[in-house]
Amino acid sequence: MTQPIRKVLIANRGEIALRVIRACRELGIRTVAVHSEVDAEALHTRFADEAICIGPGPSPSSYLHIPNLIAAAELSGADAVHPGYGFLAERADFAQMCIKCGLTFIGPLPEHMSLMGDKVQARTRMQEAGVPVLPGTGVLASAEEAREAAERIGFPVICKASAGGGGRGMKIIHDPATLEQTVETAQAEAQAAFGCGDVYLERYVTSPRHIEVQVIADHQGNVVDLLERECSVQRRHQKIIEEAPSTALSEEVRVELRKAGVAAAKAIGYRSVGTVEFLVDGDRFYFMEMNTRIQVEHCVTEMITGVDLVQEQIRIATGEPLGHLDREHVPHGHAIECRINAEHPVTFAPQPGTITALHFPGGYGVRVDSHVYQGYTVSPHYDSMIGKLITHAPTRGQALARMRGALDETIVHGIATNVPLHRWILAQPAIIEGGYDTHFLAQNLDEDAVRALAEEEP
């Protein structure tokens, strides 16, 4: 039975808040923007039907403050909440509070967030479901257990935070001499970042590709995959360029990877849009984690499938089945996304400040998702991403050429951005040929060349 949604409170900011507003507008649903004091002039507050201030600039006092968000929903008469990505998007306690207060949470069930947010529990459930996982351990109880496990798995191993993500609490260990100290360091980082110092070990893949499967699951038990995305261009374990489909997979492996993504979602009775992430090592792949939310890089999937993923999230939240979606999808062309960040293109240091001049590219096959404008001040309180540049074309070569042209047309004055870095990356033979892995940037970055491109910026 479907439950209509009339008004959605968007518990987020920036480009994803605008993305949700657009999706709701097309579905005839009213929207409520929330904002901190420093975001009072942000675009999402202008384009939503209503806007409510939820606190000071620092996110713990505003976008992460659950009582203020619930109060804003009640004050505005919203009957649903969309969490976007980041902030509270994968916080089970927030989803549970929304449900307890009679609000439809546009996302998965809280128990799905809790299960897949615990990397050790998630590994165990995937093993039970027959989804390939790397040889590894449960939560480490002692240094002795870590030594025994590492010897069994074989060096190198990687130490990961059970509650982690984004590379925090993640350490590579190449030999027994550094094992104990590295595990202790990872535990301390995990405790500081996530409030939980639990860590575990996995076999380390030396030259992996990071490839993820987009899944959609309804309340009736139907699960559809919307192909895969390649996310191997990273810096410090953070994605900066994504594309779809991947160039790294044989057709046989591609089919099996997509089946594994669907199996992962079915194994937990998942409901909503989600992403199952894998490490690919040659013709073998291994489950890494599941993100129980919309992804930053969802745009490339939309471009090659024609499916509006945010609208699908909303439809599923109302109880609507997936009957309108094809069960088998084939990619229509190729799409590439560059994350545009307000950061130094070589050191990656955040660069807050006021944008004094701005021009984004346009034209056939070019999409820009952004929340900034000329005169906008990039705040030090939040993530440094100021937009996403996406190109789509019939072939990968054409999409790359279109992206290079779009980057050349991008003008941002007043702050430094990583546009010169993107221009350098997309000119490298390994990227053009598709023969790269997650270590590409760390091993090949030519800092002088990127600085020279930055000096040429229009």
Q: What is the pLDDT along the chain (458 residues), one digit of tens a residue?
A: 568 999 999 999 999 999 999 999 999 999 999 999 999 999 999 999 999 999 999 999 999 999 999 999 999 999 999 999 999 999 999 999 999 999 999 999 999 999 999 999 999 999 999 999 999 999 998 988 999 999 999 999 999 998 877 777 889 999 999 999 999 999 999 998 888 999 999 999 999 999 999 999 999 999 999 999 999 999 988 999 999 999 999 999 999 999 999 999 999 999 999 999 999 999 999 999 999 999 999 999 999 999 999 999 999 999 999 987 777 788 999 999 999 999 999 999 999 999 999 999 999 999 999 999 999 999 999 999 999 999 999 999 999 999 999 999 999 999 999 999 999 999 999 999 999 999 999 999 999 999 999 998 87
d(CA 458, CA 456): 6
Closest by Cα among 440, 383, 432, 374 to 403: 432
How distant, in Å, are the alpha carbons of 18, 248, 372, 389, 421 from that of 353?
21, 39, 12, 21, 20
d(CA 110, CA 293): 12
Cβ contact 68:10 at 8 Å: no
Those residues whose C-beta lies under 8 Å from the C-beta of residue 46, and which sit 6 or more positions away, are none
d(CA 83, CA 251): 35
The strand pair at 366-370 and 385-393 is best described as antiparallel
Per-residue confidence (pLDDT) for residue 167, from 0 to 100 = 74
d(CA 319, CA 209): 35
**Both tokens assigned to 374:** 């000329």
Set out the domains of the chain in order of their start, with CATH numbers: 7-106 (3.40.50.20), 135-203 (3.30.1490.20), 209-455 (3.30.470.20)
**Sign for the pseudo-dihedral over CA of 295, 296, 300, 303:** positive
Per-residue confidence (pLDDT) for residue 456, from 0 to 100 = 87
Active site positions, annotated: 293
Task: Tell me the pTM.
Answer: 0.94
Q: What are phi and psi of 375, to 5 degrees?
A: 100, -10
Q: What is the CB-side half-sphere exposure of residue 270 using CA atoms within 13 A?
A: 31
Triad 222, 29, 85: Cα angle to 5°: 60
Sheet holding 50-55, edge to edge: 50-55, 30-36, 7-10, 80-82, 104-105
User: Is residue 168 classed exposed, middle or buried when 0-12, 13-18 and 19+ CB atoms within 10 A define those classes?
Assistant: middle
**Secondary structure of 7-44 in HEC code, one letter for each residue:** EEEECCCHHHHHHHHHHHHHCCCEEEEEEEHHHCCCHH
Which residue do the tokens 């409520």 mark?
32
